[in-house]
Amino acid sequence: MATKSKTFILEGQAAWEQTGEGVRRQIMGYSEQLMLVKVEFQQGSVGAMHEHPHAQASYVASGKFEVQIGEAKQTLACGDGFFVEPNVPHGVRCLEAGVLVDTFTPVRRDFLKA
Amino acid sequence: MATKSKTFILEGQAAWEQTGEGVRRQIMGYSEQLMLVKVEFQQGSVGAMHEHPHAQASYVASGKFEVQIGEAKQTLACGDGFFVEPNVPHGVRCLEAGVLVDTFTPVRRDFLKA
């Protein structure tokens, strides 16, 4: 079966998945080679350091975050972005509640329900 | 030379490129297989119907847009998304000023300066 999302993905219709304390995500679109995920953070919540073989490009849609990629740390706010090469450890700490748009290539199969 | 962006891309430091009347973009991060672009639209501006061999996942970071993909049309607002398979014609009309986050695989070489 083809791995692909609908063409239009409405916030009011997409499922939310709680992924940690004060953190939840909505999968907003994907096919085999590309996935876009909305991740909503409450102030003080954390996306713990982790790594994966997928390349990741992210955008701060709202809020403020301390982002660590490898050894580098940077505070990013609405309108900023960051890029994570495959297998590089990265994580975020939410300084002000907001939304990250995380995109991956290839698709994060681990995010898809069986 | 490797095709890749910086790790952290700050809105205040990234170049804006005017791409049409009332439309401008900032490249927010990329490597060979993934690119994330911020596109800012003024109310009434248009991203004309076009197509490309890259898959595209997009997120409405703010504003409201009428989005056409193939023959399908949908009005999308902040928090919604859409997915465009390779070589499928698509375009947008901005109903309320805002920002689209467009992501592509592979990288849009045509967006990179020589």
At residue A1, does pLDDT exceed 50?
Answer: no
At residue B49, does pLDDT exceed 90?
Answer: yes
| Average pLDDT score over chain B | 96
H or E element that contains B113: none
Q: How confident is the model at residue B2 (pLDDT cuts 50, 70, 90)?
A: low
Q: For residue B65, what pLDDT is reported?
A: 98
Q: Delineate the domains of chain A, giving CATH numbers in brackets.
A: 22-106 (2.60.120.10)
> What per-residue string of b and e applies to B64-101 under the rule 16 or more CB within 10 Å gives b?
bbebbbeeeeeebbbbbbbbbeeeeebbbbbbeebbbb
Q: Which of A96, A92, A89 is nearest to A81 (CA)?
A: A92
Secondary structure (DSSP) of A48-107: EEE--SSEEEEEEEEEEEEEEETTEEEEEETT-EEEE-TT--EEEEEEEEEEEEEEEES-
Q: For residue B1, what pLDDT is reported?
A: 47
Supply the ipTM of this predicted assembly: 0.95
B66 in contact with A, Cβ within 8 Å: no
Calculate mean pLDDT across residues A25-30.
97
Instruction: Give the separation between CA A72 and CA A82, rounded to whole angstroms.
Output: 11
Residue in chain B nearest A14 by alpha carbon:
B80
| pLDDT tens-digit map of A60-109 | 999 999 999 999 999 999 999 999 999 999 999 999 999 999 999 999 99
At residue A8, does pLDDT exceed 80?
Answer: yes
Contact call for A8 and B34, based on CB within 8 A: no
Q: For residue B21, what pLDDT is reported?
A: 96
Report residue A32 CA to chain centroid gap.
17
